[in-house]
Amino acid sequence: MLATGGLGFIGSHTVAKIIKNKHEVINADNLINSKIEVKDKLHKITGIKPIFYQINVTDEENLEEIFVNHKIDGVIHFTDFKSGGESVAKPSEYYSNNLVSRMVLSKMCVNYGVGKFVFSSSATVYGDQQSPLKEDIELKKTTNPYRETKTMSERILTVQLFQMMVFQ
C-alpha cells in the first residue's frame, strides 16, 4: 500500500496501524510539514523499517517511480495543506498542492489499475447539513480555497474511479 503524507500527523498514526496489521507500506512525503525523525519513530513502534521516498507527490515522474518499483494495491492519501485561514492568504499554493497531487495520483492509479483509494477529505464538503452525513449526500458550496480543494477532489476522484470501472 502507498501512503502519501505518511510522516504527517494523521498519516503517521495510520501507517503505524497498517504496518502493525502486517501490511507493507510505501511511505511518500516531501517533509514540508513533517520531520524525518518520524520515520525512525515508526521503525521503533512497529519494528519494521518503513520504505520511504522523499518526493513531492505532485511530481509525476518521481511518483511513477514508486508504481514501477512496487506492486501498489491501494493508496491512502494525506498530503493536503490543511489550514482554511492560510488558504485564503495563499490560494494558489493550496490549489496547486492539493489539486495537482490529486490529479497526478489518481491518474497513476488508473494507469496502474489500483482500485483502492482512501482520500483524507473533510466533513466541510457537506456544509451545515444535518447528521448523519453519508457519502452520497450533496456537496455544498465552499467558503475558502482549502475547502474548495476538498470539494473539487471529491469530484475528481469520483470521475477517475468511474473511468476506471468503465474502461478497465
Ligand X SMILES: NC(=O)c1ccc[n+]([C@@H]2O[C@H](COP(=O)([O-])OP(=O)(O)OC[C@H]3O[C@@H](n4cnc5c(N)ncnc54)[C@H](O)[C@@H]3O)[C@@H](O)[C@H]2O)c1
Contact segment (CB under 6 A) with ligand X among 23-31, 65-73, 110-118, 135-143 equals 23-31
CA 70 to chain centre: 18
With CB under 6 A as the contact rule, the residue among 31, 89, 118, 133 that binds ligand X is 31
According to the binding rule CB under 6 A, does residue 29 interact with ligand X?
Answer: yes
Residues of span 48-107 touching ligand X by CB under 6 A: 56-58, 78-80, 82, 97, 101
d(CA 129, CA 55): 37
Q: Measured at CB, which residue is nearest to ligand X?
A: 8
The values of phi and psi at residue 2, to 5°, are -100, 125
Nearer to ligand X, 104 or 114 (CB): 104
Q: How far is the CB of 168 from ligand X (least distance, A)?
A: 26
d(CA 27, CA 130): 36
| Per-residue contact string for residues 125-164; x = within reach of ligand X by CB under 6 A | ----------------------------------------
**Angle, helices 9-20/37-46, rounded to nearest 10 degrees:** 30
With CB under 6 A as the contact rule, the residue among 2, 3, 8, 102 that binds ligand X is 8
On whether the CB atoms of residues 144 and 90 are closer than 8 A, the answer is no
CA 58 to chain centre: 11
Catalytic positions: 146
Q: How far is the CB of 120 from ligand X (least distance, A)?
A: 3
On whether the CB atoms of residues 4 and 10 are closer than 8 A, the answer is no
Nearer to ligand X, 143 or 166 (CB): 143
CA 74 to chain centre: 11
User: What are residue 28's DSSP bridge partners?
Assistant: 4, 53
Binding residues (CB under 6 A) for ligand X: these are 5, 7-11, 29-34, 56-58, 78-80, 82, 97, 101, 120, 122
